[in-house]
Every structure is written in structure tokens, then in C-alpha cells.
Structure 1
């Protein structure tokens, strides 16, 4: 009976593989690591999701086919189409948290701040790490209270800080920020509101005027907001939008006479999908880039040779290769694979469960030498996590749209983590009190 069931499951998975849902070798086996993918290839956010998931899948396929898996452990994955709908992402999590066909689930990519909020308690109860690079709930940076949530690379507070640091660089020093008017036009959601607290703190520290203007989802009409911006006469504007609200924001800003080179998009308002629909109005637009665009990095050479040129890429349109969202997928996949390697060094070269993968992420240390070895030098900054620090990096570059492509205009800019950390700890302590959580003693664990 068991063999019959395994053959049936294998046949079903192989049929899905023909459509790119799982790798062709997926079957009942003891040496496979399962990765659920809550994708959004259709709907309002498909222009972001299609290249994002292609980047992740291409890297996982590269690891399997070129490197033979992670120390011999093959990666298998299954997609759930969610249209970036929080309820559907939660359904995907519930469906796959127990693994697939005997392969355990190591972690869950939420890739959605609302979903990270919705799954916070479930992930902790199930001991499944929730991974949301440059997103998620900012206070989950504090792993003593949030053991199973990882807002990797650059949390929202860090994004606010890097943006202010860049403005200070452009203005000639932090002392030049005093009296400046800095407007944040933000998506009126948990994601968009995440930077309000750090911007208030940074405004108090540097003396600039902090003006916040919301845009309701989906943001197809923004005349009222940009009329308000024009009345303010800002020195700089942060665009913290998402999806269609970004190109609409760029075009409307231009219509109201706001200089495009005074607009700075955050991480989720800085892709080709954000600027190409805005046309000529986007030329000169800048954005934070913990995930830089470009296909000239070493990993792209390796992928082109082994995956794209071999006809094995998940990309249906090769022109997306090296675009920002494709690279976001690559970077997230690479960090996950390096975490699995870290866990295997401790637990053995075998599939890991969620608890073991939590330990692995908290001991992850991707230094400059390792970045070079895996082909991500310049594409990803060094990343070191711990029990107390689930962000790790806290840096981004700034890129500018020249009308055809993104051009990097800075090296890595570091967030002011020392200033931001007390604010994070206040919020994490409040969460712990609300939920009756006793924080871990991270010093004792190390």
C-alpha cells in the first residue's frame, strides 16, 4: 500500500514538474529538503512575482543540477498561487508546513509584510522560520522575542535610516539636514506605515521636518496627495509604494512639478516594473537597493551557462534575467541555501526541520570570501545573524534609473543601527508583554 501511494504521489509530482511547479526528480525519498513557494504569478503584483520566483527557482535548480544539491541533499519545491493575497499565503503555509512526500519543510518564505504579521504566531507555534528579506515585522529583528521570524538584510527601520544617510551625503553632511522638508508618500498598509516610527526618531535627531502622506491601495489616482506635496515644497520625497502605486506616483509627481531626482523609492518601489510604466518621467529616479539590478555579477555568468543557455530557466522572458526582482529571488534563495549549509555543518548532511533551520539562520555568517566563492560579490553585502539580530546586514546601495537601466550610484550605505535598536527593543518588549512571551537569554545561548 505504501509503495502504491508513493508511486501515485510521484506520478502527480512529475506531472506538475512538466509545468515547472516542482523539479522533475521530486518523489518519495529520504534525502530531500522541501521549500514551499507562495507565489504570485497572476494578479495585480504579477509583474513583480514572475521574475522573483524565477530567480529563486533558477538558483535552486542550479544548486541541484550543478552542485548536486546542498551537500547531496536535493531541494524540492511546490508552488501555491496566492496573487499576493494574505489569506491565500496563510492557506499555503498551512498546507505545506508539514513538508511534502516525506521531505521536511525547513522554512517558509512569506515575501509579504501582511503575511508575516498574519503568520507570526503560527510560525512560532509550529517552529517554522518565516523568511521575509527586507520586509516583515521590524521588531522581529529581536530574535529573543521572535525566534522564528527573520526580516533579513535590511528591515524597514534600516531602510528609513539608509535613505536619510543618503540624503545627508547628497546635502553635504548630517548638519545640513536641519530644517529640510522630507516627505514620505506611503502605501497605507502595515508595510507602508512601518517607517513612521523611525522617521520620527531620525527627524528629532537631525532636525528635519517629517511629513507623512498616505496613498490608499491600489493607488491608481494620487492627484490629491501630490497636490499636497507640491504645497509643502519638499527638499526630498521618499516613495514607499508598491505595485501600480509606484509608477502612478512617479508620473503624478512629474505632473505636479516635483523634480524626479528628488524622489527616492524604497526597496519595494525600485524595480523595472516600477519605472518602465512611468516612461520618461522616471529618468533620474533613485531607489534603495539591497537587491541591486544588473546581470554582470559572477552568479549570472554561472546561471547563464548552466541554466539559461541549457533551456532550464523558469523565466519565460529572458529579458528579465538580472532585473531587480529576478535578483531579489536569487539573493533570497542563496541566503536560504547558505543557511541550510550552516545547519548541516552542525546537524549533519541531511534534510533539516524547522527548529534546526532556526538554529542555522541564527548562526549564519556569509563573509566577503564566501560571497566571492558563491558568485554574489557586489550583489549581496556580508550578512551575519545571531539570536539577538535577525536582520544581519542593515545596508543598501542606491541605484538610479537612466531611462534604460539601473545604475548603481553608491557603495553599500549602512543604517544607523545603534540609534534604531532601542526603538526595536521597545516594540519587541511590548509584543512580548502583550503575548505573555518570556524573551530568550541570547547571551546564554551563545
Structure 2
């Protein structure tokens, strides 16, 4: 096997003292852009977090050392360990929202859906954009109600739609979904329950049977759930688990004789950390991939030359270079850098504050030519945000585990965002009524 997750666990334990909230503060100056990083290098999700932060930090370091910063503005970052706990992420946010040694904050990576929920009101009050790529609160796609929350790239409703569109492509078209039985096995949390609304809508439209089966955190025993799945004999299974519950789910499904080729993991159930612990049972498993695995993209060649081969990488074990969570970090960092670049085009080549960061993200536009220029062609989809659209992407590739590596088996599969939008607006309107928010007129925004 080319990669051993036990090494990540060991690295997490060895690095504990260096990864708590007691990390010495980074040096920063008022003419630098501060990026706070709420990380989880220790705890149950460290195997995901360690390569994630390495990808983000490697890209930020590349921008500083190879490109001289963003139009000359250097980036400075500081980690704050959360163990993926929302209360700790809130502490980290409060610690850093005012900036660092005069360097301002333009946005805050929540790096977790529960944290996005926990920080929603604070980010709005402080006018600091909360960025959660491939996660977050789905209705915050509607920027007229949520000006400071961005579920960029692929929100949970779109994930459900992409999954259904892929299944339809395998069945011969959307009209062939009628009468099919689709089971969602989901992590019983705000994250896991996010797709219940869109799956109900899609089932009503296309006529498939929608069955939802919860798995309680941490999901280390799932025999009852997969026994039920076996009895139901579904045509397809959508696996929306997280952390240790994913390999447990895959292995338990195999034990009950369920074909892994009929299981599709969502975005957060499709990394090496999800399949390697499942062993041979995972071969043939598929997952949605707005963050595809692989190190053959142009940006990886640049990073290898300038960061890894020069000993400057945050990645202690280079076997994890180009793996899914490393690429999650790269893509998050690239989106942030391009947003800051868009903001500088309006406000000048200087660090941005939170209000300017909001404008920057709402004017982010990464087209095919820009993807090629920054080396992300094929790794990141084109993305364009606006006041009314804080998602901006809405597509994913489907990748399959061959027992050694992830291989893309589709091009970008689009979500039916037009169909989903009324459901998003219904939920955002309910939130606005609850909080007494008067939605912005996005037609007047510029």
C-alpha cells in the first residue's frame, strides 16, 4: 500500500504540543494579510486535518516565496487547534477576529459545518466572512440574507443533486429513476441531515423512493443500519458519513453482502482516510469529488519544485502529497488567494478587512483561463460568486477507489441548481424572519 494512515495518527500524537492553542504567535506586520487557521491536527479527525493544513500552508508559502505575495502583499497565518470541536473554533475565532499585530483579517475559514453554524451570528455582527468550502449552512448560498457566510464550491444541496444526476447517468437518464430505491446512510448531525430536504424534493420530482437511515456519532457500530439496508435491497446507496464512521460503514456493508460499487460517498466520505482503513472492502467504492485526488496537476509540479524539494513543505510525509485532503487544502487556499486578488483590484494592493473581504468573495470569478494560469486546470472547477450566489460552483467529479488510488470516472457533473434554488430561498427567508433580517437588494450591489 502506498500510504499508511497510521503514520498520520503518529504524527498527530507527536505534534500535539506544537498544535494546541498555545502555539507562539506568528510574526506579522500591518502591511501583511493575516489568515487565521482553525485546525485539527489532533483528535479523531487528525488524519483528515494534517494533510488539509499542509495543502493550505504549502500554497500560501508558494504565493509568498515564489510570487512575492498577492501583488506584493505577503500572507501571514496562525494556527489554533480545535480538534474539530465547534466551541474551540469559536474560541479561535474570538482570539483572532481583530487581526494579528496590526495585520487585518479578511475572512475566517471555519473548516467545519458545525463551526459554521456556531459562528453564523458572530461573523455577521463582526462583518467577517465565514468560508466553508464544500460545507457550511446551505441556505447561506443566498447572500442577500447571509452576506458574511460562503458555502463555496459545492453546497450540500448540490451534493445531493450531483449524486442523483450521476446515478441517473448510470441508469440511462433521469426518467429511469422512477421506481428506484435510493438509501441515504447519514451521520446524524447537522452535517448529515443537510441533504434530507433536497433528497425529498428530488424524489418527488423523479419518482424514486427516498429512504434515510441515521448513524449516531461516532458510528463505530453500524450492524443494525446495514442489516436494514440489506433487507431493503436498494438500487443505490448514498453514504454521508464522516471520520471513522465511513470505513466502518464500508466494511459493514461488505460484511452484509452489499455491493460496494452501488455505494456513492459524499464529499466528506471520499478520501484516502475513508477507504484505506476499510481494506479490500473499499475497492470499487465511489465518491463525489469537488476536490479530486491526484498529484499530476500543474500546481503540484510547481509546488514540488519550489516548496517540497526545497524542504519548505508543511507536509511531514510526502506520501500524502496530492492525496484528497491535501488537495482540499490547496483548493481552499487558491479560492482565498483569488478572492483577495479580486478585492485588491478594487481597494488597492494592500491587506483587506472583513467588509472588503466580503466584497472580494462576492466578486470572485475564476474562469478556465485563470485556472490554467494558476495551475489548477482539472483540479478546480470554474467558480463565480455574487451577492445572491455564495456557492458559485455547483459541480463535482465522481472518483473511484481501485485499491491503491482514486481515479476520476467522470468529468464535472453539474447539480440542478435552478431546481434547488427555491428550497434554498425558502430556508433563507425563514432564517431572515427568525432573526429580523431585512435581505439586501442584490440588484443594487456593485
How high is the TM-score relative to the length of structure 1? 0.95
Q: Given the alignment of the two structures, is residue 378 of structure 1 paired with residue 381 of structure 2, yes or no?
A: no
- Give secondary structure in 2 for the equivalent of 1:248: helix
- Give secondary structure in 1 for the equivalent of 2:287: strand
C-alpha distance after superposition, 1:45-96 (max 9, x if no partner)? 0000000000000000000000011111110011111100110000000000
How far has the Cα of 1:30 moved from its partner? 2.5
Are 1:22 and 1:78, in contact at CA under 8 Å, matched by a contact in 2?
Answer: no
- Give secondary structure in 2 for the equivalent of 1:67: coil
Aligned residues: 429
- 1:9 maps to none
2: CA distance, partners of 1:222 / 1:96: 39
How high is the TM-score relative to the length of structure 2? 0.95
Could you tell me which runs of 5 or more consecutive residues in structure 1 were left unpaired when the two chains were aligned: 1-17
CA 211–251 in structure 1, closer or farther in 2 if over 3 Å, else same: same
Q: Given the alignment of the two structures, is residue 154 of structure 1 paired with residue 147 of structure 2, yes or no?
A: no
- 1:239 maps to 239
Are 1:236 and 1:262, in contact at CA under 8 Å, matched by a contact in 2?
Answer: yes
CA 380–28 in structure 1, closer or farther in 2 if over 3 Å, else same: closer
How far has the Cα of 1:341 moved from its partner? 0.3
Are 1:399 and 1:410, in contact at CA under 8 Å, matched by a contact in 2?
Answer: yes
C-alpha distance after superposition, 1:342-368 (max 9, x if no partner)? 000000000000000100000000000
- 2:83 maps to 83
CA 20–329 in structure 1, closer or farther in 2 if over 3 Å, else same: farther
2: CA distance, partners of 1:439 / 1:83: 35
CA 259–283 in structure 1, closer or farther in 2 if over 3 Å, else same: same
Are 2:239 and 2:263, in contact at CA under 8 Å, matched by a contact in 1?
Answer: yes
CA 19–186 in structure 1, closer or farther in 2 if over 3 Å, else same: closer
1: CA distance, partners of 2:133 / 2:122: 19
Pairing 1:57-96 to 2, within 5 Å after superposition:
57-96=57-96
2: CA distance, partners of 1:351 / 1:361: 14
Q: Given the alignment of the two structures, is residue 172 of structure 1 paired with residue 172 of structure 2, yes or no?
A: yes
Pairing 1:101-250 to 2, within 5 Å after superposition:
101-250=101-250
How far has the Cα of 1:31 moved from its partner? 1.4
How far has the Cα of 1:444 moved from its partner? 1.3
- Give secondary structure in 2 for the equivalent of 1:133: coil
Are 1:59 and 1:333, in contact at CA under 8 Å, matched by a contact in 2?
Answer: yes
C-alpha distance after superposition, 1:161-190 (max 9, x if no partner)? 000000000001111100000000000000
CA 345–25 in structure 1, closer or farther in 2 if over 3 Å, else same: farther
How far has the Cα of 1:445 moved from its partner? 1.2
2: CA distance, partners of 1:180 / 1:302: 46
- Give secondary structure in 2 for the equivalent of 1:237: strand
- 1:14 maps to none
1: CA distance, partners of 2:227 / 2:413: 32
- 1:35 maps to 35
Are 2:23 and 2:80, in contact at CA under 8 Å, matched by a contact in 1?
Answer: no
C-alpha distance after superposition, 1:420-445 (max 9, x if no partner)? 00000000000000000000000111
How far has the Cα of 1:25 moved from its partner? 12
How far has the Cα of 1:129 moved from its partner? 0.2
1: CA distance, partners of 2:350 / 2:24: 20
How far has the Cα of 1:29 moved from its partner? 2.1
1: CA distance, partners of 2:20 / 2:440: 41
- 1:365 maps to 365
1: CA distance, partners of 2:426 / 2:259: 37
Are 1:185 and 1:215, in contact at CA under 8 Å, matched by a contact in 2?
Answer: yes
Are 2:30 and 2:101, in contact at CA under 8 Å, matched by a contact in 1?
Answer: no
- 1:259 maps to 259
How far has the Cα of 1:416 moved from its partner? 0.2
Could you tell me which runs of 5 or more consecutive residues in structure 2 were left unpaired when the two chains were aligned: 1-17
Are 2:25 and 2:78, in contact at CA under 8 Å, matched by a contact in 1?
Answer: no
How far has the Cα of 1:23 moved from its partner? 13
How far has the Cα of 1:298 moved from its partner? 0.1
Are 1:162 and 1:414, in contact at CA under 8 Å, matched by a contact in 2?
Answer: yes
Pairing 1:281-300 to 2, within 5 Å after superposition:
281-300=281-300
CA RMSD of aligned residues (A): 1.6
